[in-house]
């Protein structure tokens, strides 16, 4: 079964609260571990950017569930491609909070100092996630 990587961005729906992010992470980690999906979720309190990698079937099924989740909206796929190997294999779903989305990183990968996934090309979004992964290596997140 081929491996694929999918990166998308979205924004929170009205009424989104701190409990929602906890619930999302708990479910994501459990479900992804069951179907060997790995990846990273970045969240800056208004916007998400998430990378999912795994078999084409598992990533597509996961993305369909995510698309139907009313806790976020304006879901835009930035990248979908076949990959030869995983890059986030340590994490069923790693979490990158706002504090890690620093101005130097944002400036390096986009035209703005704020975290704005829509201001990034697919290539920049991917590279930003790799940089975040490397800054978190050896941590279970």
Ligand X SMILES: Cc1cc2nc3c(=O)[nH]c(=O)nc-3n(C[C@H](O)[C@H](O)[C@H](O)COP(=O)(O)O)c2cc1C
Of 117, 81, 83, which is closest to residue 132 (Cα–Cα)? 117
Residue by residue, DSSP assigns 5-53 as: EEEEEEEEPTT--HHHHHHHHHHHHHHHHHTT-EEEEEE-SSEEEEEEE
Taking CB under 6 A as the binding criterion, the range among 28-36, 80-88, 106-114, 128-136 that sits at the site for ligand X is 28-36
User: DSSP E strands: which ranges in 44-91?
Assistant: 47-55, 72-83
Q: Which of 65, 107, 122, 130 binds ligand X (CB under 6 A)?
A: 65
Binding residues for ligand X, total number by CB under 6 A: 16
How many residues in the chain?
141
Q: Which is nearer to ligand X, 50 or 110 (CB)?
A: 50
Residue 50 in the binding site for ligand X (CB under 6 A):
yes
Q: What angle do CA 56, 31, 14 make, to 5 degrees?
A: 100
Q: Which of 62, 78, 88, 101 binds ligand X (CB under 6 A)?
A: 62
Q: Which is nearer to ligand X, 61 or 119 (CB)?
A: 61
Which residues lie near ligand X (CB under 6 A)?
Answer: 24, 27-28, 31-32, 41, 48, 50, 52, 62, 65-66, 69, 71-72, 93
């Amino acid at each position: 079964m081929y491996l694929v990587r999918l990166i998308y961005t979205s924004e929170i729906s009205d009424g989104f609260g701190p409990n929602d992010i906890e619930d999302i992470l708990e479910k994501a980690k459990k479900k992804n571990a069951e179907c060997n999906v790995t990846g990273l979720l970045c969240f800056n309190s208004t916007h998400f950017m998430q990378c999912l990698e795994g078999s084409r079937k598992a990533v597509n099924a996961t993305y369909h569930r995510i698309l139907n989740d009313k806790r976020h909206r304006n879901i835009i796929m930035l990248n979908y491609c076949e990959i030869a190997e995983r890059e986030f294999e340590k994490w069923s779903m790693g979490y990158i909070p706002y504090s890690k989305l620093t101005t130097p990183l944002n400036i390096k990968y986009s035209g703005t100092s704020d975290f704005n996934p829509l201001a990034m090309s697919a290539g920049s979004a991917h590279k930003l996630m790799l940089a975040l992964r490397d800054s978190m290596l050896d941590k279970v997140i």
